[in-house]
Structure 1
């Protein structure tokens, strides 16, 4: 047992009678075996006592704990604790409860309830809740479709740097933009989403550079963004990167490297990659 972990456990134990955070961390120490012999039962008991006293952080933690796959999964307990935490105003609990209702994950799907909880979190500035709420209004899933309301929440999320929202706004402007100006706005949001790490945005930005749409054609930058997306497991990016290596777009032609990326996409069931890999392997055996 690491000396630092043992010291941390002792500090938490000493402060647990006076400070709720020390008590919470003490429970986590027991649950994970940090500095003390692991005891899930004892750790949960400590955190549940805090939750029963109205501590919204402990309630939120328990809600998430009982959501996880595994032998401790309990959707009834998860909903109970998340609801208690959300009622106390915990933004993350409100967001998670809203997402569960939206997806029908562990709870019956209820878009009206989802909107209530997501709006509560979104109005407090939760970017992921803003993104989800915007998506509901844009899709009209269980509510009256409202493009203006949907874009309002997506913009709020995107302006906070939420990469997925930046990608969605970029895609909307690119697909529905009726002018070059709107398409350029879409491309700029796509760039921001790509820089924020969204794999869909990285793929789309790579293709914009590859095809010379809205940006000057730049095969080297296209390869850079396609590779970032492909490394995150994006099948279309893996396919595009494989084809670049196969035909020498932005890189020296390399059949082995091409087959590597095309095979990764094929393993995910990407139809064009499956066909290309089959054809490449057939050429080798002929």
Structure 2
């Protein structure tokens, strides 16, 4: 079987990093044979210890069970992988291979994941896809989700968005929050977004209630807009605050947008209070490194909307967003640097930022850059072009796009 390069693996690892936790259940549990109840109780105790982070306790309970029970062997394999040292990983792979050979779905899923990341076995996305499909067919929801990711990326299988959506849907049906989110997101970005809005909203909610923070944000947006679900601003705020309170900074941006919308539709003190709230949310997200929030905060500082006008500070925020590669900020910064709007003129730097924005498809930047070129010498243009060529975006957050995340789950508290 062909092995894959580390760069290929990295394209899916961001999506499937949390899969090793193995918190999903089989859709249909195997029947309990007479006389097996004590073994099953012991296994359940070990699983509970594993999920609570007691790896040593789980291992002690699982070792005597694993010899005659492929399911216990699979869980022992998961426990040893959690331990992580070389000897533990080697033993885990042996256990998983034997259990998978005996037909155990959980072992197939875990072994597939190891092939996907190349730990303890050769990196082989084709083999990973085969094992994920076998496990998914047997009811492992996370395996169905990971297989959907491989189809979406064309890794180990031919790229096929239709198949990706099919497996996302299967994962969602098995109760996997990542599958539910992926299905809903793929639907929202498709031509079916309007006709399947209710189904999309339901999937977002299911994932959000299990603690998927991006799903909580998307469901909050749908509630705020009344799209696929009855409009409910208070409930929208509950989901968004849950995500924001658990550190998902993109939720801060949406809360800021909702407050800004309220400010524009109000007058007097309510408008001022809403505008100040928007600034607070944008500032929170901007300080956490969200480029869009940095850009919006810069706009507010430039306009004096909800905050005292401060051009130098606005330029600082534009530059932070621009250095992350945000093209709108690069465009504005290029205009400002070229004209000396908030600081000393720097036509070469201005040309560089305009060129960078233009290369990302910003047509306004292209028009301004063409006019700016008329005022620069050939050596200045060459310098700006060299600076642009040397530019590398510097993301302030580990992941540039929230859709690429497989975030830790943060279950929501029951509604009061």
Task: Name the TM tier (shorter chain).
Answer: 0.7 to 0.9
Structure 1 unaligned residues grouped into runs of 5+: none
- Given that 1:12 and 1:26 are in contact with CA atoms closer than 8 Å, whether structure 2 keeps it comes out as no
Q: Which has the larger radius of gyration?
A: 2
Match of 1:57 among 124, 127, 142: 142
Partner of residue 172 from structure 2, selected from 75, 86, 94: 86
Q: Is the 8 A contact 2:253 2:285 kept in 1?
A: yes
State the alpha-carbon separation in 2 of the partners of residues 6 and 186 from structure 1.
50
Deviates more, 1:185-194 or 1:33-42: 33-42
Residue aligning to 1:246: 338
Pairwise CA distance, 1:184: 0.6
The DSSP-based 3-state class of the residue aligned with 2:184 is: helix
Q: Does 1:223 align with 2:308?
A: no
Query: How many aligned residue pairs are there?
Result: 284
Deviation string for 1:257-286 (max 9, x for gaps)? 111111222333434423321211123379
Choose which of 257, 261, 264 in structure 1 pairs with 2:353: 261
1:14 aligns with 2:114: no
CA RMSD of aligned residues (A): 3.4
The 2-side partners of 1:73 and 1:248 are apart by 49
CA shift for structure 1 position 210: 3.8
Matches within 5 A, 1:14-33: 14-16=94-96, 17=98, 23-31=108-116
Cα separation, 2, equivalents of 1:48 and 1:5: 28
Q: CA deviation at 1:113?
A: 0.9
Residue pair 1:100, 1:106 contacting (<8 A) in 2 also: no
| Range moving further from structure 2, 218-227 or 93-102 | 218-227
Q: Deviations over 1:128-155 (max 9, x none)?
A: 1121122223334455544444444333
Q: Which residue of 2 is the match for residue 187 of structure 1?
A: 279
Task: Classify 1:6/1:201 alpha carbon distance in 2 versus 1 (closer, same or farther; 3 Å).
Answer: same
Could you tell me whether the CA contact under 8 Å between 2:108 and 2:134 is conserved in 1? no
Residue 274 (1) aligns with residue 366 (2) = yes
* Alignment CA distance shift 1:63-1:272 (3 Å): closer
Distance 1:266 1:38, change over 3 A: closer
Structure 2 counterpart of 1:68:
153
1:104 is matched with 190
1:249 & 1:5 partners in 2: Cα distance?
A: 57
CA contact (8 A) 1:100 1:114 kept: no
Distance in 1, matches of 2:168 and 2:109, equals 17
